[in-house]
Amino acid sequence: MIRRFFGRRDEVLFRSATGVFALLVIAGVIAIGVALYRESMLSIREFGFQFWQTDVWDPVAGEFGAKPFIWGTLYSSILALLISTPIALGIAVYVSELCPPALRRTLVFLTELLAAIPSIVYGLWGIFVLVPFVRQIEVATPEWMKVIPLFSGPPLGVGMLSAALILAIMVIPFSSAVAREVLRSVPQAQREGAYALGATRWEAIRMALFYARTGIVGAVMLGFGRALGETMAVTMVIGNNPQVTWSLYAPQYTMAAVLANEFAEASGDLYLHALVEIGLVLFILTLIVNVISRMFIWSMAAQRPRVFRRSALKAAA
């Protein structure tokens, strides 16, 4: 009787303790949002929604708009995903499906090592190795290609292309590690079933990829989240010029970079509040991206059985 009483009490204690920890996270997110909002009041009142659409950033005149920074952040992150996703998937498939076990450990170790390198080191490598290399590519661009807006502008080396490349390299270890784990969690029976139906190796891998696709989308989104917030390495190679352009060769700017660059020296309250509002925009944007990716994953998880059966048949056929 007594033991049971204490047992119940432990249960309640345990449940409420873990519940409080879980609530702490939510409270933390809300507190950050509130603090950002409060510290950017001046700028919100002054510019309103214009802040999202204005492409002027002029600390001297006191005019601030976030558009070029939002553009630069999204553009560089999406480019980085376009570059990194095929490579990360390739690494994941090779390591989990094709690679001889002896090589696997080395490969896994090396890709995970990439994730452990501090961002400032990537930035230095970017300035001294990647940027000169990119400049050579830009110098070698034939004239007819420069007509395309994507490749217009003088060959500076620093700019969107360098930023996207360095982001891609930084994101690869994250998305490939998650994708690898997801692929390994595909039940062996699925593969054996595919082989039993006469599938080739390529077809069996395709089947496994399809089976694991929610997890893989999650891996890619994890990389996207990291790319959005990456600061140091990007600011060192992107050229830090707030402008909205499609050109890969043009210097541009990201939200995280302008915060890191201008916060310490910001004079004047409006300027400071405008910078904090950039932080708020980044915060909201990250939330939106996460919510969308969550919803994407849920909707795919919900329809898995039906679609999967059809695809398995197709893979086996």
Partner 1 sequence: MRILSIVCSAVLALSACSGSPPQQSSGMPTGGGAAINGAGATFPQPIYSKWFAEYNKLHPDVRINYQPLGSGAGIRQLLAGTVFFGASDQPMKDDQMAKAPSRVLHLPTVLGAVVPVYNLSGISEELKFTGPLLADIILGKVNKWNDPAVAKLNPAAKLPPTDIAVVHRSEGSGTTFVWADYLAKVSPDFKNTVGVDSSLKWPVGVGGKGNEGVAALVRQTPGALGYIELVWALQNKIAFGAVQNAAGKFVKASVDSVTAAAAGAAANMPADFRVSITNAPGEEAYPIASFTWLLFLENPQDKTQARIMAEFARWALTDGQKYARDLGYAPLPQTVVDMELKALEQIRLQ
Which residues bind to partner 1, rule: CB under 8 A?
56-61, 127-128, 131-132, 135, 154, 156-159, 235-236, 239-241, 251, 257, 260-267
By C-alpha distance, which of 285, 307, 300, 269 is closest to 77? 285
> Which residues have CB under 8 Å from 276's CB, separation 6+?
36, 39, 40, 43
| Residue closer to partner 1 (CB basis): 33 or 59 | 59
> What is the SS3 assignment for 110?
helix
Nearer to partner 1, 30 or 139 (CB): 139
Shorter beta-carbon distance to partner 1: residue 77 or 235? 235
CB of 21 to partner 1, least distance (A): 31
- What 3 state SS string does 124-177 have? HHHHHHHHHHHHHHHHHCCHHHHCCHHHCCCCCCCCHHHHHHHHHHHHHHHHHH
Minimum CB–partner distance for residue 154 and partner 1 (Å): 6
Handedness of CA 277, 281, 286, 290 (dihedral sign): positive
d(C-alpha 19, C-alpha 280), whole Å: 28
Q: Closer to partner 1 at the Cβ: 59 or 225? A: 59
CB neighbours (10 Å) of residue 305? Answer: 7
Residue type present at position 46: E
**Nearer to partner 1 by C-beta: 99 or 266?**
266
